[in-house]
Amino acid sequence: MKKSHFNAKLTAERLAADRDRAVAQALAEDVGSGDVTASLVGLAQMAEAQVIVRETAVLCGTQWFDAVFAAVDPEVEIRWHFEDAERIESDQVICEINGPARSILTAERTALNFLQTLSGTATLTAQYAELIEDTKCRILDTRKTIPGLRLAQKYAAMTGGAKNHRIGLFDAILIKENHIASAGSIAEAVRSVRAQHPRLPVEIEVESLDQMHEALTVGVERLLLDNFYITDLEKAVEMNEQSGDPVELEASGGIEENTLLQVARTGVDFISIGALTKNLRATDFSMRFRFA
């Protein structure tokens, strides 16, 4: 199999910069010109709080949670009992918070929003990843993310056990039906993008075995098998192996929890699932206060 160049580059520096941007935006839309209700709490009043999870989950988003409180008030202290990627159980205390009561109240909702959303993504991803852990196939995320949370959700998917697909339209090429129609053919589409972007990996979406046969002749790194039946996926894997120069195969389209393992067992390398980031259910966390 050809060496894959599709691994998205989620560096710590890139993620930190995006996290700070997302936190600043989230606080701006929630706090605005100031938390008017917090004025009911005395400036000098201190508080302790605990974050409790109400269901089994995979924890994710602690850095975003910390960043919210740091932006609101650096005097707030947080002590975590778990780290990202750890499994947490219902009614466990996840962290403890100490500091000015006003600041904790102001930051509470925004911080929990990040924690529940990213834990939801990581938890759902882990459920899918565990179902196929005994196969060679791996789960991929997609670009079907909540606007403004692309990198955060890709981090969460990775935390849950998936691999990252391309981050956006700029770091890898995925040629789809309309691109092919515009270029005139699969071969011409590939020739054109190779000339314009010689350093980027190229993937072609195919919708039939006939299209796949043509795509195998043009020298790309990966084929996306869109909405293939199981029998056609098996034929596609066999065709790829017999080509003499096999590429990576990614299955996608309508793949759900009850069909995931069957698809993985066909021999495809990856399964991409948009539901990981667009159909997630937020993890249930609550914050309980004790005022000093």
Active site residue 226: yes
Q: Which of 18, 203, 226, 250 is catalytic?
A: 226
Q: Which of 54, 87, 109, 281 is catalytic?
A: 109
CB 186 within 8 Å of CB 211? yes
Say how many residues make up the chain: 292
Q: Closest by alpha carbon to 226, among 238, 240, 208, 244? A: 208
Burial of 90 (C-beta count, 10 Å sphere; 0-12/13-18/19+) = exposed
Q: Which of 205, 221, 248, 250 is catalytic?
A: 205
Active site residue 199: no
Torsional sign, CA 236, 238, 243, 248: positive
* Buried-state track 233-257, b at ≥16 Cβ within 10 A, e below 16: beebbebbeeeeebbbbbbbeebee
Quote the tokens at residue 291: 């005022």
Q: Closest by alpha carbon to 221, among 270, 266, 277? A: 270
Strands 248-252 and 270-272: parallel
Looking at residue 283, its amino acid is: T
Q: Which of 138, 143, 150, 176 is catalytic?
A: 176
Q: Closest by alpha carbon to 120, among 170, 191, 189, 58? A: 58
Active site residue 144: yes
Q: Which of 144, 150, 194, 278 is catalytic?
A: 144
- Catalytic positions, please? 109, 144, 176, 205, 226
